[in-house]
Amino acid sequence: MRKRVFSGIQPTGNGHLHIGNLVGALRNWVAMQDDYECIYCVVDLHAMTVPYDPDTFRQARINTAKSLLAVGIDPARSLLYYQSQVPQHAELSWILSTITSIGQLERMTQYKEKQDKAGQNLGLLAYPVLMAADILLHKVHYVPVGDDQTQHLELTRDLVERFNSRFGEEFPLPERITPEIGARVMSLQDPTSKMSKSDPNPASYILLVDEPDVIRRKVRSAVTDSERYVAYDWEKKPGISNLLELMAFFTGRSIDDLVETYHDSGYAAFKDAVAEAIVEGLTPIRQTFKALDDDEVARVLQKGALDARQRAEQEMISVRKKVGLSAS
């Protein structure tokens, strides 16, 4: 029996994903479909913890789902759905919240970072508990997470041990999976910060649906350093190191090989080569995204939600019995 994997992604902003999502997570999600039983989710409830416009949010959900399909998530091989369409996520989150320490939640780095923007709302504070419920609802074995989510996975593991100790063995202890390369893609304008769509400067990130000329312009404007040689050194040359990792990802070549090829080429020629590698890699994704019909995508996600609800309900029968919410 194949091991089970779960991961989710938020439909933030307009829902368009960037190459940081692709390199750090999505390409890995696609590859895992060959070896694991995969469950992937557009975690729309999580996206509600900061102020948003409902109309924009509706389209963002669709755009995120289309992006997942465009990069290669296959509904015939993986379970794909909107989190909000499976109410057992919220039910299990409430159960887990009753055994979660408020102090643990207040120490979460993301809560500290976002509370000024979002206000001290309960949803933002309880976000990690819902994330734990997302994982534990399907009793998964592995979770692909980046460095910024490690703290949340550790809380999930704590809740597994707490629940199993208090109510009886129920949930497996989920393990972390991290891609070997490109776990973190940095901003093109500030290579000491993670690439993010929330950055007010659109030149700092490359969207999966960006047109080729837009990609070329963004790469050419990427911040590097005053030296003129290409080398892989995150301390002294973070901008060049970031571009090297991106080129290694999109070409399949090793960083050492790329450094040898472009060491004395000058930054302009190197950036042009990086841009063309990204353009070539993103073209099939962009074309597939454009060809997808919104209504058909909605139907695919609804079918996934129906399957997810049926599976989640079977898992929750045992949980309810253990915590005293069943008749017998």
Q: Is 143 helix (H, G, I), strand (E, B) or coil?
A: strand
One of 112, 117, 139, 197 is an active-site residue; which one? Answer: 197
* 114 catalytic per annotation: yes
One of 194, 303, 321, 322 is an active-site residue; which one? Answer: 194
State which H helix or E strand residue 160 sits in: helix 150-167
160-169-129 Cα angle (round to 5): 25
Rounded Cα distance between 168 and 126, Å, is: 24
Rounded Cα distance between 41 and 310, Å, is: 15
Cβ-count burial 256-276 (b if 16+ within 10 Å, e if not): eebbeebeeeebeebbebbbb
Q: Which residues pair with 79 in a beta bridge?
A: 39
* 194 catalytic per annotation: yes
State which H helix or E strand residue 274 sits in: helix 267-291
Rounded Cα distance between 276 and 257, Å, is: 17
Residues annotated catalytic, as ranges: 114, 194, 197
